[in-house]
Chains A and B, each alone.
Chain A
Amino acid sequence: MKLSRRECLQGAAALGASFCAKPNVGHSAGPVIHVKRRTTVRVLGTHVTLQEQIRERAQKELGIELVFSPGGSAEVLHKASTHPESFDLYEQWSNSIRVLWQANAIQSIDVNRIRYWDEINPLTKNGRLSPQAKLGAGDAPNKILYVQSDGKLGPQTTPNVSFLPYVHNVDSFGYNPNIVPKGEPYQTESWAWLLDPKWSGKVAIVNEPTIGLFDLALALQGKGLMQFEDIGSLTRTELDKMFSILGQYRREGHFRGVWSSVPRSVELMQRGETVIESMFSPAVYDLNAKGIPCIYASPKEGYRAWHGVMCLSSATTGPVKDAAYEYMNWWLSGWPGAFIARQGYYISNPERSKSELSEAEWDYWYRGKPAATDLSGTSGARVVAKGRVRDGGSYMKRFSNIAVWNTVMNTYEYSLRRWNDFLSA
């Protein structure tokens, strides 16, 4: 009798876990079935995608063991870049790709083993959703997606890619409308608000130079304090000037501090320590679900976009690598895209997730239409009230207004020192 892994799992649920867990040699009356130990895939990443519901669902559907190690952005990047043997899959942002690739911490992914590769939309492959869309500065995903013939990453299409395109979004800042007057999306809402003295002491920035630095650069530019030649590639001089100004703000107590994880960003606003801060989408919905009003701004200067990357560790091989590919394919199979849509994220092949979403959800999350009903988040709590329109509008509109992509610039090492100066100011 041939018993598939999934069938075995289903049988185990009905008959008892021990049935599949180990051979029951002591019982001569029953059948003896030898089952391979479940493959364990270790996933290193952030709370954005390393969620328990996803892990349980994937384990159930794939019959593999998933070990999630969520952490702060900087922490997991550091760990991944220096200890590739400590993970099998790495889930984070596109700005970590160059670091990981150059460190040889990850290996290329064969697109032929990605089942729905053809469904991946142009944003990742070309850098924009439509020809009319604004091309954001910095490392657009297409610029770092393909493994070029010289071993570097570039925009030329090849069958080998550095990451699996999946979760992506645009970021801006969140603010409490009970304190910060509500602005007009794309009209009055501005990154400059982060430097508004009215919110002095109540402003927080994400503690990640490849992300937070752009928030601050956009704020300085929006406030007219600086103009950058290429905001996606800041020079040392620009960094010096920038941190000189920001140091002054810091010394004057304008910034409450920095945060390193989504829960921490939620906690800061929930505790009232901040009223405006760099924010990721789930934090906004989490706050709303907790009854704390928070608007995700649609800055007139454009969003800071990011693209999630799922990378394969350079140290992963064999059955684990196969299981890792299965997990990557599972992510593009529909349900995960729908799941993360309820947290405000987009998937690279959204049409496959459409059937997993209700019409009201699809209209709200992707089409920017008013919610026909109250909408629940992934925890089951209501995160969207009926009639509400998503901040920034539709997927197309939001991704047509990208100011900059999260990027590791050439001045990365220098920016780290200046970042430390900023934190210590």
Chain B
Amino acid sequence: MERNTDNTVDFHEINIMIQTSKGSSLKRRLHIGTGLLVAICLLSNVIGWIGQEVLLSNFRSMESADQIATSVLQINQGALQLKARSENYAQTGAESQFTAAEELQSNLIHEIDVVRGTVDTDDPLHGMLDQMHDLIAAFGDQLELASAERNVRTDLLQNKLLAQEAEVDASLAAFEDALGDNDEASRALLMAVSGYATARQRMLRYFIQPSSELYEQMLDNLTQARGEIRRIELAENNDSQRTAKQRVQSALKDFQSLGVRAIQATRGYMFYVNVVMAGQISEFVHYSNEIKSLVDRRRESNRVDRQWAVTQGRMLAIASAVLAVLIAAVLAFRLTKVIFGPISSLTKTFLRLAEGETIDSIPAVDRNDEIGRMARAAEVFSRKNQQTEELLERSQTLSDELSQKATMLEESNQELDNFAYVASHDLKSPLRGLRCLAEWVQEDCEGLLSDESQKHLEQMQGRVNKMESLLDDLLSYSRVGRTEQHVEKVNVEELVRSVIDLMDLSSGIKVDMQCDVAEIETYKTPLQQVLLNLIANAIKYNDKGADGRVLVTCSPNGGMVEFSIIDNGIGVAPRFHERIFQMYQRASSLAVEGSGMGLAIVKKQVEVVGGEIRLESTEGQGSTFQFTWPSRVTTKARSASVPTSA
């Protein structure tokens, strides 16, 4: 009971151990480990996905860059064509070149707008396109202005100046006619004509090969011509001469003005073409080339990026795989170290504990997880083993003490048996002397004694006999197991029959036998005494007279023979079932003589050979005595005592 209570406490303790320390449980570590492995798998997938996205992005970027590059190449080509067309126009003044240049300019603006729309505003390319757009837009205006200037110049040269030249020529001719025979005036007019002709010649030369010197000289020649005209003296009151002179002066003045404007238009046109337009062209060509160069660099960069992305993807894949393997290895190592190593140690520990060892140092007992709890459980088992060991030691001690006491008891019983034997044996002799003395007194004093003394003497004789009988029974009881017996083959049926034959069946009681056992090896005399006592009791305590029945059965039961003596006698009340097997105890109310030692002797005889005896009985309904007897008794069996009649 105490042991069970202890175990309950221990399991409770173990349960507490298991339920505590959930914070860093092995399960959690396993979950974390598994989670890490899953995370590695996910990470690998994510890396793969990112790698693919990067590659796709690079491809898209490359595709976009290619599209932009193609557009930029077209813009670059357009810019170069615009430059060529514009320069051609500047050289030739051909209207077709101008129209083509204008068309190119317009297309370029459109193309730049389109490309600009596909580029982020914070992209340097956008800024460059802005610059180029503004420059080409401004160039368009310049182109138109240049065209206008060229038209002005052309108009001046081809129309107004020619018309004015004709006017000058006509006015000079009219003036010459008006002057008539005035030689001095004619000479002056000739000088003026010469100056004008030189001026016109230099002007024409200027238009062929512009030079400031020619311009200056042309102005000087005209100034000279106008001076000569101014100095011509006219005849008084000659209105025709005055009118003609005024016409020449006006014509020369207008010619000079137109000439200067034509030259200035030429200069301006030259400036426009050689400086303004050329500068603008150089700027937008610069940006065009810069843009082309930038796009080329980007294409190359994209190519390198793509290559790098592929390499990077591979490296990432390899790195993630290596990382996964490393983490898995670390996890395995850690798990081995954290779980399997301690579990192996604990297994060994449990095996040792199973063998009953006690272990002072349980491995992993300090851990705060399931293994720690297992270790602490092992610690409990270890303590249990220790307690068991202590209990065994204590039990051994008690056993030894019990054995010692059994020995002492046996010795004491032996001494009591010896005492009983000695007492009964030794008392028999003086008792026999008393009986003899009483017989002698009876014989000697018969008739001398009063009736009362005679009665007393008879009573004394009766009591001596009683005493002698008691002593015989006691002697018989004490002799059970003392007498040296020999094992012999016994025919059970014959033995039972011989016992029955000894019985006094005068009352008419009927004794039957059913025996299924042939032969056994045993001490014959004790078995005979047991059967004799039990059958005699069955007959003795039968109140049915001629209706009395006794049945003796014997049957094999394992290594034993089971005997039953069944009667329909007075029976024994259950309260006496134990008592009747005790010495000097009787349960029957019948006036049957007996010392009360018979069944005690029977019980001792049966138990001495290793059998058992029991009673089944109800008062008034008969009794059944059953006892077992070994089929083959061991040599150590003691000799049975000779039973005496009760």
Chain A residues engaging chain B, CB cutoff 8 angstroms = 72, 74-75, 77-78, 81-82, 99, 102-105, 150-151, 207-209, 256-258, 260, 271, 408-414, 416-417, 419-420, 423-424
Contacts and interface: CB of A to CB of B under 8 A. Distances in A.
A99 B265 CA distance: 11
Interface in B197-217: 210-213, 215-216
Contacts of A82: 149, 152, 261, 264-265, 268
Contacts of B271: 74, 77-78, 416
Q: Which 8 pairs of residues, A with B, have the shortest CB-CB distance?
A: A103-B264, A420-B274, A207-B279, A413-B210, A416-B274, A423-B278, A78-B268, A423-B282
A72 B279 CA distance: 12
14 contacts: A72-B276, A75-B145, A77-B268, A78-B145, A78-B149, A99-B267, A150-B223, A256-B286, A258-B282, A260-B276, A409-B212, A413-B212, A416-B271, A419-B274
Interface of B: 87, 127, 142, 145, 149, 152, 210-213, 215-216, 219, 223, 257, 260-261, 263-265, 267-268, 270-276, 278-283, 286
B270 A413 contact: yes
Contacts of A260: 276, 279-280
B211 A413 contact: yes
A176 B87 CA distance: 35
A82 B273 CA distance: 15
Contacts of B286: 256-257
The interface centre, meaning the residue of A99, A150, A413, A423 with most chain B CB atoms within 10 A of its CB, is A413
A416 B264 contact: no
Nearest to B209: A413
A16 to B, nearest CB: 39
A126 to B, nearest CB: 25
B277 to A, nearest CB: 9
A187 B145 CA distance: 45
B267 A420 contact: no
Given A78-B272, A257-B282, A258-B283, A411 B212 contact: yes
Nearest to B210: A413
B275 A419 contact: yes
Contacts of B270: 413, 416-417
B264 A102 contact: yes
A208 B276 CA distance: 8
B264 A105 contact: yes
B130 to A, nearest CB: 11
A257 B283 contact: yes
Contacts of B87: 424
The main secondary structure of chain B at its interface with chain A is: helix
B283 A420 contact: no
Contacts of A423: 274-275, 278-279, 281-282
A74 B268 CA distance: 9
B276 A81 contact: no
Contacts of B274: 416-417, 419-420, 423
A412 B267 contact: yes
B275 A208 contact: yes
A43 to B, nearest CB: 19
Given A103-B260, A207-B275, A417-B274, 20 more contacts: A74-B279, A77-B271, A78-B272, A78-B276, A82-B152, A99-B267, A102-B215, A151-B223, A207-B276, A258-B283, A260-B280, A409-B212, A410-B211, A410-B216, A412-B267, A413-B267, A414-B211, A420-B273, A420-B278, A424-B278
Nearest to B211: A413
A151 B181 CA distance: 34
Nearest to A150: B223
A411 B268 CA distance: 15
Contacts of A257: 282-283, 286
B257 A104 contact: yes
B586 to A, nearest CB: 137
A413 to B, nearest CB: 4
B355 to A, nearest CB: 88
Contacts of B257: 104
A409 B212 CA distance: 8
Contacts of B212: 408-413
Contact of A104 (B223, B260, B267): B260
Contact of B264 (A74, A81, A409, A424): A81
Contacts of B263: 102-103
Nearest to B279: A207
The interface centre, meaning the residue of B127, B211, B223, B257 with most chain A CB atoms within 10 A of its CB, is B211
A71 to B, nearest CB: 10
A263 B272 CA distance: 20
A74 B275 contact: yes
A256 B131 CA distance: 14
Contacts of A424: 87, 278, 281-282
A424 B257 CA distance: 34
Nearest to A209: B275
A416 B264 CA distance: 14
Contacts of B260: 102-104
A404 to B, nearest CB: 18
A123 B535 CA distance: 175
A268 to B, nearest CB: 10
The interface centre, meaning the residue of A82, A104, A208 with most chain B CB atoms within 10 A of its CB, is A82
A412 B263 CA distance: 13
Given A81-B264, A416-B271, A102 B219 contact: yes
Contact of B276 (A74, A99, A102): A74
Nearest to B124: A271
A416 B281 CA distance: 15
A92 to B, nearest CB: 13
A247 to B, nearest CB: 13
Nearest to A78: B268
A77 B281 CA distance: 19
Nearest to A416: B274
Contacts of B268: 77-78, 81-82
A99 B264 CA distance: 8
A416 B275 contact: yes
Contacts of B127: 271
A160 B345 CA distance: 121
The interface centre, meaning the residue of A99, A208, A412, A416 with most chain B CB atoms within 10 A of its CB, is A416
A104 B267 CA distance: 14
B275 A104 contact: no
Contacts of A419: 274-275, 278
Contacts of A150: 223
A22 B272 CA distance: 44
A207 B283 CA distance: 11
A350 to B, nearest CB: 33
A264 B215 CA distance: 34
Contacts of A74: 271-272, 275-276, 279
A240 to B, nearest CB: 15
A252 to B, nearest CB: 14
Nearest to B214: A413
A258 B286 CA distance: 10
Nearest to A103: B264
Contacts of A416: 270-271, 274-275
Contacts of A409: 212
A410 B212 CA distance: 5
B195 to A, nearest CB: 15
A275 B437 CA distance: 167
A103 B275 CA distance: 19
Contacts of A408: 212
Nearest to A424: B278
B564 to A, nearest CB: 130
A95 B34 CA distance: 87
Contacts of A151: 223
Contacts of B149: 78, 82
A410 B213 contact: yes
A75 B141 CA distance: 11
Nearest to B275: A74
A82 B268 CA distance: 7
Contacts of A72: 276
A13 B280 CA distance: 44
Contacts of B279: 74, 207, 258, 260, 423
